[in-house]
Chains A and B, each alone.
Chain A
Amino acid sequence: MENRLLEIKDLHVSYGSVCALWGVSLHVPEGSIVALVGANGAGKSTLLKTIAGMNRPKNGSILFSGKHITGLTPEAVVNAGIAMVPEGRKLFARLTVKENLELGGYIPRARPFIQKSLEQAYELFPLLKTKSNQIAGSMSGGEQQMLAIARSMMSRPTILMLDEPSLGLSPLVVKMMFELVEELNRKGMTILLVEQNIYQALKISHYAYVIKTGKIVLEGKGEQLLSDPEVQNAYLGTME
């Protein structure tokens, strides 16, 4: 059947005595956009952070191309081919755009190709090339989000995880951002997208999961969920 690039089985994560994820299972097929949607505090970011190696799961396993990556350090996860664009972008604000990009290619696997990746990134985001010597912290929100995505692309990942890429951006820029995600996917990138902007996320994704208080409550094709009355009532009712 389809190739399961990333597979998560029965994942439990807790912060101290507070349980954040209760047996989450999902999988991301190669070449697809999978969206993970849910309300604030449902556990979306926790899941991404656990995949990225920032949190240690209590139970369960994470498989990447069939290999266990559970409990690896963040550095090892990136090196394996999973890149993450964190919530709030987390750029190195005092470094220049170019330096931010170069550091994206810091891992051993990507380091020999830094020059090449840099050219590719500039090709994808011509704006970044013109601003390459600017301090990252001085750019606008949309530009920073672009840089954050470009930086994670520098590690030549197989899968890209985006945590709330539309947060704090103007509607026009949000639209551009989603177009960009689709474009990346057309170029062959597998994407795991976490969003609060549920309508947009479901529209572009091939498959989607709805997470609520640490559990997956619904799943299905993006458009299918979009028309699901339960989703409409619970999440989309408040959206435009």
Chain B
Amino acid sequence: MFDYLTFGLLAQLFINGILFGTMYGLAAIGLSLIFGTMRIIFLSQGAVIILMAYCCYWLFTLFKIDPYLSIPIIGLAAMVLGAGIYQGLFRRAVKMEDKNITLLIAVGLMFLIENLMAVMWTPNPRSISTGYTSSSIPVGGLAISFTRLMGFVMAMLSTAGVTLFLKRTLVGKAVRAASEDIEAARLVGISPHWVNTIAFAIGIGLCGIAGIALSTTYPFDPYFGFIFSLKAMIALALGGLGSVFGALLGGIILGTLESWSSFFISGGWADAVSYGVFLLVLLFKPEGLLVRSVKKV
């Protein structure tokens, strides 16, 4: 039945899965910070990614700025936007016990962003077409998509950057501490609002990077993003909370899973397989596949 299977094909399938999964991974890292510190089910993340993709598109068509050169501009703008979203929308709500409120604010924000984009840029799909769009690099008989490779590199660099920030700087350590136990963090003098603002800024900043990676690889329309919110959530659950690298790896596992299941079963079932695995993980190892259980003190 699978007589056309060769080693090269499998290798290509594997690489594609990894490259594709980093996209989910990027979104999942951002989510792990936001969800980790504030327990917000931030469904508007996909919409923000698309918003950033539109910004990238704008810079490209209006000012002829190459998408990869716009990383610093968009990254910074996204961070400011993230801080603004926290201060404007979530500052009051995170204090409240009821998690539904933050969930609903996120939903409201999603409606708002999606439809604002539809009014501003029309609902027609947009895409960025450059010299390197749909070009690929041949490596030993395999073809590796250039834009996706760049996406992978960007994901790796930003994961490394965020990891360094969280591990090496005092503020980063404070973010990790707050995501573990916000009450204890307050008792050592960590201001939750400051930490949350930073978590949001980085989380949305990563959305900016994901937006650039997306806009160079895919065409997009205002409603394109929701699936990313869902998949990022799954990647996060696979990787486990509280670990940046885990979130990235969760995304890569998800991507590989989808790419293999759509090859061996059929394209339509890929989603069902990934959700099924997600449910199984939640049932049998809810702390995530990659997390060593640390006993709560």
B180-A94 in contact (CB<8A): yes
Interface positions, chain B 178-192, Cβ under 8 Å from A, are: 180-181, 183-191
* A202 on the B face (CB < 8 A): no
CA distance A144 to B173 in the complex (A): 19
Q: Give the interface segment out of A33-41, A56-64, A101-109, A174-182.
A: A101-109
Give CA–CA (A107, B190) in the complex, Å.
7
Do A93 and B187 touch across chains, with their CB atoms under 8 A apart? no
Bound-state CA distance A95–B185 (Å) is 12
Set of chain A residues within 8 Å of B180, measured between Cβ atoms: 92-95
Contacts of B176 in A (CB 8 A): 92, 94-95, 99
Whether A103 contacts B186 by the Cβ 8 Å rule is no
Residue A86 at the chain B interface, CB threshold 8 Å: yes
Q: Answer yes or no: B242 CB below 8 A from chain A CBs.
A: yes
Collect the chain B residues with CB atoms within 8 Å of residue A53's CB.
186
Given contacts A137-B295, A137-B296, A144-B297, contact A74 B186 (CB under 8 A): yes
A99 CA to B186 CA in the complex, in Å?
16
Interface size class of A (residues with CB under 8 A): 35 or more
- Please tell me which one of the listed residues B188, B242, B296 contacts residue A152 in the complex, with CB atoms under 8 A apart: B188
Given pairs A84-B187, A90-B297, A103-B190, 4 additional interface contacts (CB within 8 A)? A54-B183, A86-B187, A102-B170, A111-B170
B173, closest chain A residue (CB): A99
Cα A102 to Cα B177 in complex, Å, equals 11
Contact assessment for B174 and A90 in the assembled complex, using a CB-CB cutoff below 8 Å: no
Q: Which single residue of chain B is at the shortest CB-CB distance from A141?
A: B297
A89 within 8 A of B: yes
A90 pairs with B189, CB closer than 8 A: no
- Pairs of residues from A and B, 9 with the lowest C-beta to C-beta distance, nearest first: A90-B184, A107-B189, A78-B189, A74-B186, A92-B177, A137-B294, A93-B297, A75-B191, A75-B189
Q: How many interface residues does B have (CB within 8 Å)?
A: 21
Given contacts A73-B191, A74-B186, A103-B190, contact A92 B181 (CB under 8 A): yes
**Residue from A73, A75, A86, A114 whose CB has the most chain B CB atoms within 10 Å:** A75
Q: List 28 A-B contacts (CB under 8 A).
A: A54-B183, A54-B187, A73-B186, A74-B186, A74-B187, A74-B189, A75-B189, A78-B188, A78-B189, A84-B187, A90-B187, A90-B297, A92-B181, A94-B294, A95-B177, A102-B173, A103-B173, A103-B174, A103-B188, A104-B188, A106-B170, A106-B188, A106-B190, A107-B188, A107-B189, A114-B170, A137-B295, A154-B188
